[in-house]
Structure 1
Amino acid sequence: MHQGHRINKIILDRSLFVSGLVVGAAALTAVFVAFLAITHLRAVRRSRKYRLLGELASEVNRAILFNEDEEIIFSTILDYAFRILEKVNLGSVLSFDPNGYLVIIASHGFDPDFVRNFRLRLEDTFQYRQSGGNISQAMIIEPEIIKGFADKLDSEGREYKSIISAPLFVGGRLYGFLNVDSVHAKRFGPADLALLKNLSGQIEVCLLARTRYRSSLAESRTDALTGLLTRGYFEELGAHAVKHATRYDLALTFGMYDLDGLKQVNDGLGHPAGDLLLVAAAKAISGTARKSDIFGRYGGDEFIAVHYNTDAKEMTERSLEKLKELRAAPLSFGGKEIAPSFSFGFADFPADAQDVAGLISVADARLYAMKSERKREADRKDKKAPAPKPAEERDHLPRGSVS
């Protein structure tokens, strides 16, 4: 009897032990599953954030390629900042205005009037106060610093408790700041700081690429010697001008200009003298144009223009006046004088032609008609002039005689 009772007790104890093991294992399994779920969720969130960063890089590259406005690019970056960082209430990109004050050039969550009236000295920024003026990297702003900016953060009286601020540098120069703000305390941590550094890096790359793009674009569109538009860019703008004039029934005039005697100057005095002549002629010829006109260098010694609000007759008169001024002020090179001169021809749209090729053809024909007429006139003068006496005859002339 006692022995049976002992056996039953042993069986019960073992059952309880096994049950305990099962319950413990179940609990551990639940904890492990929860841990896996949390880990998976974090991995999904992390993956989503990096996917968004990849999307942002593509968006920024596309915006730079299409030369979009900086405000559009920065607003796009702020959109992604809100999606990536989460629980962000305000975002802004600041840059320096011509007077040295920081202004908001892109924002999310701010009142428009507040944005328009915002002006801030560098010495009053989060970064400057927290770093003691040693601005170099993104940082989570301390609560004590934030409290001193309550009146500068928002026009609606909301209290912001967490802020990350990242400086923006372009070519080693401080351009401005990227800031994101939250009403939640201790909202941002090291991971958020790293993400904002990535976002600020995107802006810096955008600014640098845009600066270089604009520089290379200007170089490709501008003739290095004369500062006028290149032929390719002129043709692009000229085609647009004709298309616009066609659509709105407007008149305009194409002008072709050709510098006279460039080859003789290059051959006699060298190309530096020829360059001097080209620059002087370009300045004089473009002086016939209004600010709204389009002016370019068409070839070696040829220039081309689209003139608005005028016609061929008026442009001929203006060009003759400019030619008279140019000839009255000869250039000096190597102790010798160079008298600049140019020929020209004009074609009116739509009277003379209805497309760019036709307008250039008419203007060019009139230019060469002018050159031909000048040559005939010069030939007639040469025929009327007395022939020079042979050298032997001149040698026997008495002193004081006029040959």
Structure 2
Amino acid sequence: MSSMANLKTFTRALTVFCLAVLFYFFIPDSLAHLSGLLKYILIIAIIVILMMYNQILGSLSAPQSSAGSDVPDGVPDAVTTQSSTHNLYENLKSLVISTAKSINPDCKSAIYVIDPGKQVFTLQAGKTSEFADSIPLSNTTVKKYINKPKKLHQKDNPNAWTELFFDQTWKGSECAIFSPVTLHGTLAGFVLIRVDHFTDATDREMGILKQLGEFVSFGLENLESLEKHILGEDSKSLILEIVSNLDFKSDAQNIFNQFKYLLRTFFKYDRLTVSLRKDTENRRKLDKGVSSIIKLADGEKDDFVEGSEFPTNGSLHGLPVVSRTSIHTTDWRQSHPNMARFRSSEPDEYAFQSVLASPIIIEGESRGSIVLERVDAQPFSSMDVNDLDLIGQVLGSALRWRYEYKKIYTNATHDGLSGLFNHQTFKERFSDEIQRAARFQQKMAVMIFDLDKFKKVNDTLGHQYGDYVIQTVSKILQDNVRAVDVVARYGGEEFAVILINTTAVMSNMVAQRIVDNIADYEFSMDGVDTRVTISGGMSEYPTHSENTKELIELADQAMYATKQKGGNGIIIHNKDEKTGEQVNPA
């Protein structure tokens, strides 16, 4: 009987009981024998009422099943699982569209997927007011451009353009690119990116946008793999919910923490350890992964915490990585007598017995392990083994997704040569920092640096040497500021630095240290040595201006004033003097 039916029965019984009590108090003394009988009946009724009340409390406080109020009666488990898969697919599409926007704010993007029944590409993501709802599979323009890096220009192909986009008034400067989406090597759709003016997107940005189709392809293949393993198993829908809520823009530790809660839900363990192989600086493939690093530790504490390293070979926690297979034992010391948990020198005070471990597969390669340990010999169930194998695959996919996103994001926001923020990202970060400084009433120092006589380096020593100088100077800049500060390659040999929550005067020491370290550095490549100096200018928010463009211009003017005085120095803009104030001139 449901809790609602119990409640109705209880209400009726309580009403009858109250009427009986009322009748009892009004029985005349002449009917004493009836009064005594009714008294016993009321005592029995009180016991029954209390039992019913206790049953009502139990039914109301009992946890709801997975088919409770959140899922209507008659809805199959597969439907709820498919819903989770659908949410993950929607998140994938949103991530791709937002990534394209972050790469180039002026672009408009859409995702098309093949509908075999209708023989068309159907619009899956993107505004219907800007993109066609469907495009025939026979469309010659799609066939021509989908696998080519070249752009489709509106002015050169007006008729083809109209087939892809709604009939609007076009300027003739618009262009578009296609990025194919594949599933198991077969065309499944494409990402279509449109820019209103071909000069608004550099060739490099267009090349990065071209990679978005690969990201969707990878996501679709992983979704298909998840569905094969999960469909029809209600308990596994939680895995999809966890993955669909992952933020691939955040750091990897956030992903590990999300999976920690998932593992806590699925398994009973005394210790959980997740580790990944560590790629060494040595470029030889065989040397990579000789050690592993712990990314997540939960449960019993020991000497091996997050960030600890251990040898992959010869360790129990490295065995799933090496063997690419799961481990299930109730006494690991007996089943693996020649191995240590992590290191041979570790103490024996943590005497775990039962162990379940699975490899983490990334790009078809065993890259890490998930290890569950119990202090007793209680075995893990066969369902536990299957569940951990699945979670290992899903975690590998999640880490790969984040890697792919990070690769695209880094290419879009960082300069390829120096590794610093590029010009566009610097402007966006500068605007964000201005807003933050205004909100907290803080000051900021803005620096513009330019290498002195850098053209001579390129002309006499070659462009490869010039690239080496740019990379070295970039590292010197980064090494001399805090992690919260912003460093960017502003132009060819020009750099920009924002020092957060500080004044220009307070930043003098940092700026001069940068100038001195570059001047003192012995640049040497292929046996050729040289010296390089740098000139800098500085402005301050909000003292000199509250406008980003003006602050950069003022710092730029101060930098040129430094060059006019011989270079190799730093000058702070002085609003009372056009030449500025020189600090520690060379």
Displacement of 1:203 in angstroms is: 1.6
1:94 has 2:285 as partner: no
Q: Counterparts of 1:332-351 in structure 2 under 5 Å?
A: 340-351=532-543
Displacement of 1:214 in angstroms is: 4.5
**Residues 209/80 of structure 1: CA separation in 2 closer, same or farther (3 Å cut):** farther
Does the Cα contact within 8 Å between 2:449 and 2:495 map onto a contact in 1?
A: yes
Amino acid at match of 2:235: K
- Structure number, greater radius of gyration: 1
Q: Which of 92, 106, 115 in structure 1 is aligned with 2:301?
A: 115
Q: Which of 47, 56, 63 in structure 1 is aligned with 2:247?
A: 63
1:137 has 2:340 as partner: no
Distance in 1 separating the partners of 2:261 and 2:454 = 52
Does the Cα contact within 8 Å between 2:355 and 2:372 map onto a contact in 1?
A: yes
Amino acid at match of 1:177: I
Displacement of 1:347 in angstroms is: 0.5
1:81 has 2:261 as partner: no
Displacement of 1:258 in angstroms is: 1.9
Distance in 2 separating the partners of 1:329 and 1:66 = 36
Aligned length: 314
Question: Which whole-Å deviations, capped at 9, do the CAs of 1:292-345 have from their partners, x for residues lacking one?
Answer: 543221111210001257544565677567657756778678999866343322
Residue of structure 2 in register with 1:354 after alignment: 546
Residue of structure 2 in register with 1:105 after alignment: 296
Q: Which of 150, 166, 179 in structure 1 is aligned with 2:372?
A: 179
Distance in 2 separating the partners of 1:283 and 1:319 = 14
Question: Which whole-Å deviations, capped at 9, do the CAs of 1:329-367 have from their partners, x for residues lacking one?
Answer: 786789998663433221111101224333212212333
Does the Cα contact within 8 Å between 1:260 and 1:341 map onto a contact in 2?
A: yes
Q: Counterparts of 1:98-247 in structure 2 under 5 Å?
A: 105-107=296-298, 110=299, 114-115=300-301, 125=316, 135-142=323-330, 152=350, 164-170=356-362, 172-173=365-366, 175-179=368-372, 188-189=381-382, 191-214=383-406, 217-218=409-410, 220-247=412-439
Distance in 1 separating the partners of 2:520 and 2:295 = 53
Does the Cα contact within 8 Å between 1:260 and 1:340 map onto a contact in 2?
A: yes
1:54 has 2:240 as partner: yes
Displacement of 1:43 in angstroms is: 8.8
Distance in 2 separating the partners of 1:335 and 1:145 = 56
**Residues 180/284 of structure 1: CA separation in 2 closer, same or farther (3 Å cut):** closer
- Tell me which protein shows more strand as a share of its residues: 2
Does the Cα contact within 8 Å between 1:316 and 1:346 map onto a contact in 2?
A: no
Distance in 2 separating the partners of 1:325 and 1:145 = 55
Distance in 1 separating the partners of 2:564 and 2:476 = 22
**Residues 96/353 of structure 1: CA separation in 2 closer, same or farther (3 Å cut):** same
Gaps of 5+ in 2: 1-74, 80-230, 279-289, 342-347, 568-586
Does the Cα contact within 8 Å between 2:447 and 2:555 map onto a contact in 1?
A: yes
Q: CA RMSD in A?
A: 5.1
Identify the structure with bigger relative contact order (alpha carbons < 8 Å, sequence gap 6+).
1
User: What SS does the corresponding residue of 2:492 show, helix, strand or coil?
Assistant: coil
Percent identity of equivalent pairs: 20
Does the Cα contact within 8 Å between 1:166 and 1:179 map onto a contact in 2?
A: no
User: What SS does the corresponding residue of 2:241 show, helix, strand or coil?
Assistant: helix
User: What SS does the corresponding residue of 1:64 show, helix, strand or coil?
Assistant: coil
Distance in 1 separating the partners of 2:294 and 2:527 = 55
Gaps of 5+ in 1: 1-39, 83-87, 155-159, 376-403
Q: Counterparts of 1:246-395 in structure 2 under 5 Å?
A: 246-267=438-459, 269-279=461-471, 281-282=473-474, 289=481, 293-308=485-500, 311-313=503-505, 323=515, 340-371=532-563
Does the Cα contact within 8 Å between 1:164 and 1:180 map onto a contact in 2?
A: yes
**Residues 117/332 of structure 1: CA separation in 2 closer, same or farther (3 Å cut):** closer
- Tell me which protein shows more helix as a share of its residues: 1
With 192-201 and 90-99 compared, the bigger mean Cα shift is at 90-99
With 164-173 and 353-362 compared, the bigger mean Cα shift is at 164-173
With 215-224 and 356-365 compared, the bigger mean Cα shift is at 215-224
User: What SS does the corresponding residue of 1:179 show, helix, strand or coil?
Assistant: strand
**Residues 357/281 of structure 1: CA separation in 2 closer, same or farther (3 Å cut):** same
Distance in 2 separating the partners of 1:77 and 1:164 = 16
Distance in 2 separating the partners of 1:332 and 1:118 = 42
Distance in 2 separating the partners of 1:164 and 1:348 = 58
Distance in 2 separating the partners of 1:126 and 1:260 = 54
With 175-184 and 269-278 compared, the bigger mean Cα shift is at 175-184
Displacement of 1:125 in angstroms is: 4.3
Distance in 1 separating the partners of 2:324 and 2:469 = 51
Question: Which whole-Å deviations, capped at 9, do the CAs of 1:369-396 have from their partners, x for residues lacking one?
Answer: 4446669xxxxxxxxxxxxxxxxxxxxx
